[in-house]
Structure 1
Amino acid sequence: MLDFLKIARQMQGVSRQLAEEAQRASRRLEEADRVLGWVRQNQQAVIARTAEVRSKITFLVGEPVEPLGENHPVVPAPPVHTVIATDGSQIAPSHHEIAYCSLINVGKVCLHYGTGERPLLDSQPEVFYREEDLYGPWGLNTEESLALRRSRAEMEVLADVALDCGAGERPAVALVDGSLIYWQLEQVSTKHQQAILEPMLAAWERLRERRIPVAGYISSSRSGDAINFLRLQLCPHPDPDCDRHCTGNTGRGAPCGILHGLSDRRLFDKLLASGERSGLWASTSRILEHYGPHRVHFCYLHVGSEIARVEMPAWVALDGELRERVLGACLAQVEKGFGYPVALAEAHNRAVVQGGDRARFFAMLEAALLKAGLNDVRVSRKEARKRGSIA
Structure 2
Amino acid sequence: MLDIAKLAGRIPGISQHFKQEVNASYQRLEQGKEIVEKTHLQQQEIIERYQQWRDRLIFSVAIPIEPLDTCLPISSPPYSHSVFATDGSQIAPSHHEIAYCYLINVGRVMLHYGQNLHPLLDSLPEVYYKQEDLQVSRQWGIRTEEWMGYRRSVLEAEILAEMACRWVNPPGAHQEPNLAMVDGSLIYWFLDSLPYEARDLILPPILAAWEQLRETGIPLMGYLSASRSVESMNFLRFHSCPFETPNCMVNCTDLEDKKAPCQVIEPLRDVTLWGQFLQPGERGPLWKSSQRILDLYPEEQQIYFCYVNVGSEIARIELPAWVAQDQNLLEQALGIMLAQVSKGYGYPIGLAESHNQAVIRGGDRVRFFALLEQQMIRAGLHNVGTSYKEARKRGSIA
Shared fold, TM over 0.5: yes
1:152 has 2:154 as partner: yes
In the TM superposition, what are the counterparts of 1:202-241 in structure 2 within 5 Å?
202-241=208-247
2:396 equivalent in structure 1: 389
Residue 114 of structure 1 aligns to which amino acid in structure 2?
G
Residue 386 of structure 2 aligns to which amino acid in structure 1?
V
2:165 equivalent in structure 1: 163
Among candidates 195, 198, 201, match of residue 204 of structure 2: 198
Among candidates 368, 376, 382, match of residue 375 of structure 1: 382
User: How big is the alpha-carbon RMSD for the aligned residues of Structure 1 and Structure 2?
Assistant: 1.7
| Residues 1:250 and 1:63: Cα distance change in structure 2 (over 3 Å) | farther
Shift of 1:253: 4.3
| Residues 1:135 and 1:327: Cα distance change in structure 2 (over 3 Å) | farther
1:126 equivalent in structure 2: 126
Contact kept in structure 1, 2:168 and 2:216, CA below 8 Å: no
1:294 has 2:296 as partner: no
| Residues 1:3 and 1:302: Cα distance change in structure 2 (over 3 Å) | same
| Separation in structure 2 between the aligned mates of residue 67 and residue 134 of structure 1, nearest angstrom | 49
| Separation in structure 2 between the aligned mates of residue 255 and residue 124 of structure 1, nearest angstrom | 50
| Separation in structure 2 between the aligned mates of residue 249 and residue 220 of structure 1, nearest angstrom | 30
Count of aligned positions: 391
Contact kept in structure 2, 1:135 and 1:145, CA below 8 Å: no
1:332 has 2:349 as partner: no
Contact kept in structure 2, 1:134 and 1:146, CA below 8 Å: no
2:142 equivalent in structure 1: 140
| Separation in structure 1 between the aligned mates of residue 207 and residue 311 of structure 2, nearest angstrom | 32
2:356 equivalent in structure 1: 349
Contact kept in structure 2, 1:247 and 1:254, CA below 8 Å: no
Q: TM-score, normalized by length of structure 2? A: 0.94
2:185 equivalent in structure 1: 179
Shift of 1:71: 0.8
| Separation in structure 1 between the aligned mates of residue 324 and residue 220 of structure 2, nearest angstrom | 10
| Residues 1:248 and 1:81: Cα distance change in structure 2 (over 3 Å) | farther
Identity of aligned residues (%): 50
| Separation in structure 2 between the aligned mates of residue 2 and residue 248 of structure 1, nearest angstrom | 44
Moved more, 321-330 or 194-203: 194-203
| Separation in structure 2 between the aligned mates of residue 185 and residue 133 of structure 1, nearest angstrom | 19
Shift of 1:256: 2.2
Residue 309 of structure 2 aligns to which amino acid in structure 1?
H
Residue 388 of structure 1 aligns to which amino acid in structure 2?
G
Output one character per residue of 1:73-105: Cα deviation in whole Å (capped at 9) or x when no partner: 111100010001111011011111111111111
Residue 236 of structure 1 aligns to which amino acid in structure 2?
P
Secondary structure of 2:16's match?
helix
1:361 has 2:376 as partner: no
| Separation in structure 2 between the aligned mates of residue 251 and residue 92 of structure 1, nearest angstrom | 37
| Separation in structure 1 between the aligned mates of residue 199 and residue 349 of structure 2, nearest angstrom | 33
| Separation in structure 2 between the aligned mates of residue 370 and residue 282 of structure 1, nearest angstrom | 55
2:67 equivalent in structure 1: 67
Contact kept in structure 1, 2:312 and 2:346, CA below 8 Å: yes
| Separation in structure 1 between the aligned mates of residue 358 and residue 344 of structure 2, nearest angstrom | 17
Residue 375 of structure 1 aligns to which amino acid in structure 2?
H
Which ranges of structure 2 fall in alignment gaps of 5 or more residues?
none
Contact kept in structure 1, 2:158 and 2:206, CA below 8 Å: yes
| Residues 1:246 and 1:279: Cα distance change in structure 2 (over 3 Å) | same
Output one character per residue of 1:154-191: Cα deviation in whole Å (capped at 9) or x when no partner: 11110111022237821110001001111220121234
| Residues 1:295 and 1:253: Cα distance change in structure 2 (over 3 Å) | closer
Secondary structure of 1:47's match?
helix
In the TM superposition, what are the counterparts of 1:251-262 in structure 2 within 5 Å?
252-262=258-268
Residue 156 of structure 2 aligns to which amino acid in structure 1?
E
| Separation in structure 2 between the aligned mates of residue 295 and residue 322 of structure 1, nearest angstrom | 16
Residue 381 of structure 1 aligns to which amino acid in structure 2?
Y
| Separation in structure 1 between the aligned mates of residue 43 and residue 379 of structure 2, nearest angstrom | 68
1:95 equivalent in structure 2: 95
| Separation in structure 2 between the aligned mates of residue 105 and residue 305 of structure 1, nearest angstrom | 29
Shift of 1:233: 2.4
Secondary structure of 1:233's match?
helix
1:79 equivalent in structure 2: 79
Shift of 1:51: 2.4
Contact kept in structure 1, 2:100 and 2:129, CA below 8 Å: yes
Shift of 1:57: 2.5
Secondary structure of 1:28's match?
helix
Residue 84 of structure 2 aligns to which amino acid in structure 1?
I
| Residues 1:188 and 1:344: Cα distance change in structure 2 (over 3 Å) | same
